[in-house]
Amino acid sequence: MWEFETECQEVIQRTPNIKSFRFPIRGKNVRYRPGQFFFFTIKIRGEEALHHFSFSSSPTEEGYIEFTKRITASDFSQALNVLRPGDWARLRGPEGSFTLPARLRPLALLSGGIGITPLRSMLRYIADKDLPFEVVLLYSNNSVEDIAFRHELDSIAGGHPGVRVEYVISGPTVPGDWPGKRGFITKDLVAEVIPDYMTRLFYISGPPRMVIALEEQLSALGVPSAQLKRDSFTGYD
């Protein structure tokens, strides 16, 4: 377990309402595994406020920790929205067992919206370490503009034959030439995109309602719950 005070190093706008926040580590012995989360504290009107965030960075990206947040109307979100390089923060972690398996096996990552954060960390790690995992990411968003990390995910898939990324757009505005899938992630879509689904270890990540809905779809396909790992972003439903 580690804990340290630091200051914001960089803020990156990922989509119209998603931002990444980076914090320097500066040589401290700060370890974590892709898929884990940490406790993050800032001051709002002088009072400390704490939230949990998954690492969206990978341990292979040295020198900083990054998390990525959907900005809502909440006090905490609005304080983050005006966070600037140099502003104080405290980080404590790591926590969580939503992590890659110890032995190689085919994976299926299912995610919607902001749920991509721990999966981005895993895919960056797999790519940087050149790990021979067979991975399919099925990533759903309301619109094409809402896809966070799209360019990077495409580039990871392009450079690693074992990694495939499939986007799904669930909202009404889909460009006519959209090459990806449309609608919601249903059992039929899983079976179509991941025909060998029974052999894969599933990771589901997102707001609780989405995680439950996807669990139900997988259960209807006969995927045993022992073959599922879940990361539920409480606070969004």
Ligand X SMILES: Cc1cc2nc3c(=O)[nH]c(=O)nc-3n(C[C@H](O)[C@H](O)[C@H](O)COP(=O)(O)OP(=O)(O)OC[C@H]3O[C@@H](n4cnc5c(N)ncnc54)[C@H](O)[C@@H]3O)c2cc1C
Choose, by CB under 6 A, the member of 89, 108, 114, 218 that binds ligand X.
114
Choose, by CB under 6 A, the member of 13, 74, 199, 225 that binds ligand X.
74
Q: Under the criterion CB under 6 A, does residue 32 sit at the interface with ligand X?
A: no
Which range touches ligand X (CB under 6 A), out of 73-81, 140-148, 176-184, 193-201? 73-81
Distance (Å, whole) CA 203 – CA 208: 14
Indicate the residue among 50 and 104 with the shorter CB distance to ligand X.
50
Choose, by CB under 6 A, the member of 19, 22, 70, 181 that binds ligand X.
70
Cβ-proximal residue to ligand X, closest one: 235
Indicate the residue among 64 and 236 with the shorter CB distance to ligand X.
236
Strands (E) located in the chain: 2-7, 10-15, 18-24, 37-44, 47-54, 64-70, 88-95, 107-112, 135-141, 163-169, 181-182, 201-206, 228-232
Residue appearing with tokens 């879509």:
189
Q: Under the criterion CB under 6 A, does residue 140 sit at the interface with ligand X?
A: no
Q: Under the criterion CB under 6 A, does residue 17 sit at the interface with ligand X?
A: no
In the chain, the amino acid numbered 77 is S
Q: Under the criterion CB under 6 A, does residue 13 sit at the interface with ligand X?
A: no
Q: Under the criterion CB under 6 A, does residue 69 sit at the interface with ligand X?
A: yes
Residue 126 phi, psi dihedral angles, 5° rounding? -60, -45
User: Residue 71: how many CB atoms within 10 A of its CB?
Assistant: 17
Give, in order, the Cα–Cα distances in Å from 30 to each of 19, 25, 35: 23, 7, 15
**Residues in touch with ligand X (CB under 6 A):** 37, 51-54, 67-70, 72, 74, 76-77, 114, 117, 233-236
